[in-house]
Structure 1
Amino acid sequence: MQQSARRTLEFFFDFGSPYSYLAYLEAPRVAQRAGADIAWRPILLGGVFKATGNHSPAEIPAKGRWSKTDLARWARKYGAPFRHNPHFPINTLMLMRAAMGYQRQDEALFQRYVQAIFQAMWVDGRNLNDPAEIGAVLAQAGLDPRAALAMIDDPAVKDALKQATEAAVARGVFGVPSFIVGEELFWGNDRLHFVEEALTE
């Protein structure tokens, strides 16, 4: 009997989204239960907002206050360490370019980088608006800050992130975290149960 092909969970994220951090912790569990693979899709949320007219919840005071409580609830549900970054909002352009650069270079380095930045952003409360602070985070993770800086300034990496963001918008992405299974789009950490259903259909 021929085994069915493994399905793929495309995961679109930006480090500036705390819900992306929570989904980053939970999506691998979902994929494992469903026997699926994850295709990591770093994109620039600012570019998505500009293209779609969407806005950050932080720009709406009532929603921003509610989100802090909601995030704490989800963190408790996942048993995840989490605290709101005191330096938020953080411009993630350099961070997302580096993510794209590492992904183009080496999957293991990419995964180490993603873990380090999410940890620094949403657990340790580091000021990732400061390039020196980013460099310190990378060095602590065993990554070369000079290599990361070179990737951030690489025109090919800049273009790759721009193209990835535009392609995501073209597929219907308007915020993060977003997930695509086949051609079906899901938005939000709280839609992962629907993602799991789609992966196992």
Structure 2
Amino acid sequence: MSKTVEFFFDLGSPASYLAYTQLPGICRESGATLVYRPMLLGAVFQATGNASPAMIPAKGRYMLRDLARHAERYGVPMRFNPHFPLNTLGLMRLLVAVQLHQPERFEAALQALYQAIWVDGLNLGEPARVAEVLGQAGFDAEALLAQCAELAVKEALKASSEEAVARGVFGAPSTFVEGELYFGQDRLDFVREALRR
């Protein structure tokens, strides 16, 4: 029976972007199923008393260099977003709306948004820019943005974030294999090993 990899993430986390570039390949190698679990990192931070490493100047400077090293190692494009930190509430609701209403297009939405934020460096705090990115990816931006206001969408994101905290998540990305938590994009070797066992 194939294993499942649960990927708890927030679009505003650069480390989540890097993990996103690697996890599909890792799962393909082992025949595992990758399950995307959008969560609101701000809510997780609030519930756990954690904060972004960028809030500590020395750690923030190191993080920028370390992210660049990993992007180079993975062979993926990455530009640290000049509009960081991002308020991702609307964006994460948008992903949940796609998951609920167009699950077959979820990965296309995820790719478009990650590209816009962590490669193109766009300000997705601007609704017009979000609509533009969605339109270029073939989505009905107006309809999708309207779905973000649905109670079911809001509740699903809240529930996922609360579940993450209940399971020990304190930051992003957080990956689970058979109930075991692996935090950070620099721990993907442990995910790979867990899938081989």
With the shorter chain as reference, the TM-score category is: over 0.9
How much does 1:99 deviate? Answer: 0.5
Task: Show the counterpart of 2:42.
Answer: 46
Task: Show the counterpart of 1:146.
Answer: 142
2:148 aligned partner, one-letter code = I
For residues 39-76 of structure 1, the C-alpha deviation after alignment (integer angstroms, 9 at most, x for no partner) is: 11000000100100000011111111111100110000
1:169 to 2:165 alignment: yes
Return the TM-score normalized by structure 1: 0.96
1:18 to 2:14 alignment: yes
Distance in 1 separating the partners of 2:54 and 2:144: 29
SS at match of 1:27: helix
Distance in 1 separating the partners of 2:144 and 2:50: 30
Task: Show the counterpart of 2:4.
Answer: 8
Distance in 2 separating the partners of 1:162 and 1:185: 20
The equivalent position to 1:98 in structure 2, one of 83, 91, 94, is 94
Distance in 1 separating the partners of 2:102 and 2:23: 21
- Structure 1, gaps ≥5 residues long: none
Please give the residue correspondences for 1:101-112 in structure 2 after superposition, counting only pairs within 5 Å.
101-112=97-108
Return the TM-score normalized by structure 2: 0.98
Distance in 1 separating the partners of 2:36 and 2:104: 12
- Structure 2, gaps ≥5 residues long: none
Distance in 1 separating the partners of 2:107 and 2:173: 17
How much does 1:107 deviate? Answer: 2.2
Distance in 2 separating the partners of 1:115 and 1:21: 10
Detail structure 1 runs of 4+ shifted over 3 Å in the superposition: none
Name the count of aligned residue pairs: 197
The equivalent position to 1:159 in structure 2, one of 145, 155, 158, is 155
1:46 aligned partner, one-letter code = G
Distance in 2 separating the partners of 1:134 and 1:88: 16
Task: Show the counterpart of 2:190.
Answer: 194
The equivalent position to 1:32 in structure 2, one of 17, 20, 28, is 28
SS at match of 2:5: strand
For residues 96-149 of structure 1, the C-alpha deviation after alignment (integer angstroms, 9 at most, x for no partner) is: 001111111222221111000000000001011111111111111111111121
Report the identity percentage: 55
After TM superposition, the structure 1 stretch with the greater mean CA deviation from structure 2, 160-169 or 105-114, is 105-114
The equivalent position to 1:61 in structure 2, one of 30, 53, 57, is 57
Distance in 2 separating the partners of 1:109 and 1:183: 27
2:80 aligned partner, one-letter code = H
SS at match of 1:95: helix
1:82 aligned partner, one-letter code = M
How much does 1:171 deviate? Answer: 0.6
SS at match of 1:185: strand
For residues 129-173 of structure 1, the C-alpha deviation after alignment (integer angstroms, 9 at most, x for no partner) is: 111111111111111111121121111100110011001110111
1:88 to 2:98 alignment: no
SS at match of 2:139: coil
Task: Show the counterpart of 1:70.
Answer: 66
How much does 1:183 deviate? Answer: 1.1
1:149 aligned partner, one-letter code = L
